[in-house]
Structure 1
Amino acid sequence: MKFLNPTHWDIIGKLKWLIVSFIAVICFGVLVIGFRWVTTGSKIDTAYFIFEKAIPGQVTEIAKTVYQFEEIQKLSNFSIEVPAPDANYKEQVRLNIKADKLTNDEVKKIGERLSTEYGKLAKDPAIETTSLSGQPFNWGLDFTGGTILEMTFKNPFVDNTGKAMADEEVIGKVRTAFAKNGVSLTVVQVQRLAMEAEQGKDIANSILIRTQESSDTKLKSVITDLISTFGEEDVANRKIDTIGPVVGQELKRSAVLALVIALAVIFIYIAFRFQPRAGVAAIACLIHDLALTLGVLSLAWVEINSAAVAALLALISYDVQDTVVVMDRVRENTKLYLGKMPYDKLINMSITQTFMRSFNTSFTTMIGILVILFLGGKTILDFSLIFLFGLTAGTWSSIYIAAPLLVVWKNFENRVSTNQPRKTYQLSTPEGIKVAVKETQPQINKPAIKDNLAGKPPAKKGPPKKKSNKRR
């Protein structure tokens, strides 16, 4: 069956649609990342209160006291900060309150209540609105800095009647504990018991918390409040991971630099080993693969951590492997058939000859990735997902994008050299076959006809006269 035999496929005949798909995938990735960048931005209002005298007590005690104010309870997503003394303020006289939105009336009422509790304000409170830039990706703790706290309790989350709490109620209690201690909170997740979840029971007894705070003193106070709220903790299963913000930013820069260096080295190798145009085509394919993979990660809001960067680097090295195989076949066929057949037909033959090799390699690898995805556990789940999407994109680009880009390059060169548009014919049409035969025919140089300067009619050519042997 010719349809199932790749050697009979006319891939270059669909060149226009291949280029359209290539551009569409890159646009998809860019638009999704840009959409996330714009929509995840937010604004936050901060009210600054400065007292004439120092505020007595520890930071956590002050935060707990202020949290009890009725005016504070009405705010949305608020946090309480007590800045430490510095060069400008020798004593602890400042208190900041952050919320999604603060009005002048709300700040005035809060200021009156604070004056009653801690004494007269040195000046009227000020409100500052800060615009927080959006995030194109869900950066993990490795790149943002902060703390991830996982706590498991011996008893499930139930109310006074013994009924299981809703996730929203558990999250609300966790946010209350953080707000009372003046600690900002980023993400809260309620986790189920593994064995009960498999049996269909909705029993939760664990929470996963992510915060930008890295102070052990403040976190201990929060942990104490959580234990008093949810009961005795299984301390043996507690997990705390802390990374400083400076280290996180350095890791982010190192990850981006690693990707850029990998792409540069790949371009240099392929350009040196084959041709510069082959290096450009390979890098274009890798950009295509990364755009699709990063777009899906941004759309699904998958956490980007060190494992994700490792998956992207592995993906780049694996995808370029198939591209090198196709380029190597193009180079071999160019030596054998260049000048004997059109360039687009030569590229099509190279793709079809390596198609089954590329497909079988990617298919067997995909089977292994699927096994890891479903049986590997949560630890390498993100790695498996990233590699699966990237492998699918890489298989497509190495077969249908890399070599066809060489045809686009060649057509552009011909158009520039001849200043005439050059049509890429489909190999399966009679017109294409006719042009291919015409281009391969050798040109015969006809001898030039000399002008007759004497004006005499040209002499008639005929057979040479025979010499007569007759004697006189």
Structure 2
Amino acid sequence: MEFFKYTKTFNFMGKSKLAMIMSIVLVLGSFLILATKGLNYGVDFAGGTIVQVKYDTAAPIDEMREKLKSNAIFEGASITEFGSEDEVVIRMRTTTGDVVVDVGDLARETLVGTGEFEIRRVDIVGPKVGSELKEKGIMSLILAVIGILIYVAFRFEWRFAVASIMALVHDVSIALGAIALVGLEVNLDVLAALLTILGYSLNDTIIVFDRIREGVVKGRDVELSETIDNSITKTLARTTLTSLTTFFVVFTLFMFGGEIIHAFAFTLLVGIVVGTYSSIFVASPTLLLFGFDVKNYHVKLAEKAKREAEKERMRSQFESGVM
């Protein structure tokens, strides 16, 4: 299936300045939201207790709140619907590690008289464990970015590496801003989604960079902006198909997958959109911004080929016994 014919090259770089301005606004807006509203850390990172309760009918949330007030263990607890009106979760920022009786049993005894229900899940994470998980999560993101920087710099050139990192920072920043804006809980699932965004966005960027490098290698006097436009146009059909199919699958999970993967799917949806956008309008224009020189790149390629030829000549002499 082919959406775009290659008879016409789209002028992507002609719109790059407008796109970069929009990206800067979105990133700065995300930073502002994160600074003012902040992230809503879930039990995984903040520590606390979660009790999931399933009722036979609609959950009597107001009655549940009154019942929980009678037990000091549940002081300050919040009750929210979990995917449907008959299922709720009770969240507490404090843990119950010092309580001998199981917190699930305590919730069951406290909620007696509110209707027919069952305790489906009890998660308890101590504040120390939550802090360690948060630190390790941040470290995993940093290590992933460093690894990507080294890989791209080794495979292409340092300007390509910087461009790809700027695109990844752009994607993660906007995704975090969207999460903070809608108030989703940041847990291990969201962290997994952010790491997935890094891989997805990098994959799109690498494919475009491969085409750009092929175009640059073919001619010393080519214009970089024209080469970028031509490379993006050639990969546009592939990018569109991949992004749309992935988006529809994740959108299905978001709509019908249930509350438990809601935050994961939402983060991926945002990441797919901004990741596809950034590979075209952030990573590629950054090469122009950093002054990638086609002629200088050809000089480096020639020097590399000369060194390889010299190594091959010396190896041949050594194998034939001539030194």
1:287 aligns with 2:176: no
- Name the counterpart of 1:392: 273
Distance 1:152 1:334, change over 3 A: closer
1:177 partner amino acid: S
CA-based RMSD: 2.7
1:30 partner amino acid: F
Q: Deviations over 1:313-344 (max 9, x none)?
A: 111111100100111111111111232x3222
Counterpart-to-counterpart distance in 2, 1:338 and 1:175: 74
Counterpart-to-counterpart distance in 2, 1:28 and 1:273: 33
Counterpart-to-counterpart distance in 2, 1:319 and 1:154: 43
Equivalent residue runs for 1:124-139 within 5 Å = 136-139=38-41
2:80 partner amino acid: Q
In structure 2, which of residues 123, 136, 140 is the aligned counterpart of residue 241 of structure 1?
123
Instruction: Give SS of 1:293's match.
Output: helix
Kept in 2, the 8 Å contact 1:152–1:238? The answer is: yes
2:24 partner amino acid: I
In structure 2, which of residues 289, 312, 316 is the aligned counterpart of residue 408 of structure 1?
289
- Name the counterpart of 2:26: 25
Distance 1:329 1:238, change over 3 A: closer
Counterpart-to-counterpart distance in 2, 1:398 and 1:154: 48
Equivalent residue runs for 1:306-325 within 5 Å = 306-325=188-207
1:189 partner amino acid: T
Counterpart-to-counterpart distance in 1, 2:258 and 2:274: 24
- Name the counterpart of 2:246: 365
Counterpart-to-counterpart distance in 2, 1:327 and 1:228: 62
- Following TM superposition, by how much is the alpha carbon of 1:267 offset from its aligned partner in structure 2, in angstroms? 0.7
- Name the counterpart of 2:114: 230
Distance 1:220 1:382, change over 3 A: closer
Q: Deviations over 1:229-279 (max 9, x none)?
A: 525x645x3421111111111001010000000011001100110010100
Structure 1: state its 5+ residue gaps. Answer: 37-135, 158-164, 198-203, 415-472
Kept in 1, the 8 Å contact 2:193–2:264? The answer is: yes
Equivalent residue runs for 1:44-83 within 5 Å = none
In structure 1, which of residues 254, 262, 283 is the aligned counterpart of residue 144 of structure 2?
262
Equivalent residue runs for 1:149-164 within 5 Å = 149-152=51-54
Kept in 1, the 8 Å contact 2:64–2:114? The answer is: no
Counterpart-to-counterpart distance in 1, 2:181 and 2:148: 28
2:282 partner amino acid: I
Counterpart-to-counterpart distance in 1, 2:156 and 2:78: 49
Kept in 2, the 8 Å contact 1:146–1:242? The answer is: yes
- Following TM superposition, by how much is the alpha carbon of 1:220 offset from its aligned partner in structure 2, in angstroms? 7.2
- Name the counterpart of 1:327: 209
Q: Which has the larger radius of gyration?
A: 1
- Following TM superposition, by how much is the alpha carbon of 1:293 offset from its aligned partner in structure 2, in angstroms? 0.7
2:281 partner amino acid: Y
In structure 2, which of residues 256, 270, 277 is the aligned counterpart of residue 375 of structure 1?
256
Instruction: Give SS of 2:49's match.
Output: strand
Distance 1:383 1:190, change over 3 A: closer
Distance 1:225 1:280, change over 3 A: same
Kept in 2, the 8 Å contact 1:171–1:190? The answer is: no
Instruction: Give TM-score, length-normalised by structure 1.
Output: 0.56
1:35 aligns with 2:43: no
1:361 partner amino acid: T
- Name the counterpart of 1:354: 235
- Following TM superposition, by how much is the alpha carbon of 1:373 offset from its aligned partner in structure 2, in angstroms? 2.2
Counterpart-to-counterpart distance in 2, 1:322 and 1:220: 46
Counterpart-to-counterpart distance in 1, 2:268 and 2:157: 29
Structure 2: state its 5+ residue gaps. Answer: 295-323
How much identity, in percent, do the aligned residues show?
29
Distance 1:222 1:173, change over 3 A: farther
Kept in 1, the 8 Å contact 2:194–2:267? The answer is: yes
Distance 1:216 1:152, change over 3 A: farther
Residues paired across the two proteins, number: 288
Structure number with the higher helix fraction is 2
Q: Deviations over 1:264-300 (max 9, x none)?
A: 1001100110010100000000111111111110000
Counterpart-to-counterpart distance in 1, 2:160 and 2:104: 58
1:250 aligns with 2:251: no
- Following TM superposition, by how much is the alpha carbon of 1:216 offset from its aligned partner in structure 2, in angstroms? 2.8
- Name the counterpart of 2:320: none
In structure 2, which of residues 48, 56, 80 is the aligned counterpart of residue 189 of structure 1?
80
- Following TM superposition, by how much is the alpha carbon of 1:152 offset from its aligned partner in structure 2, in angstroms? 4.0
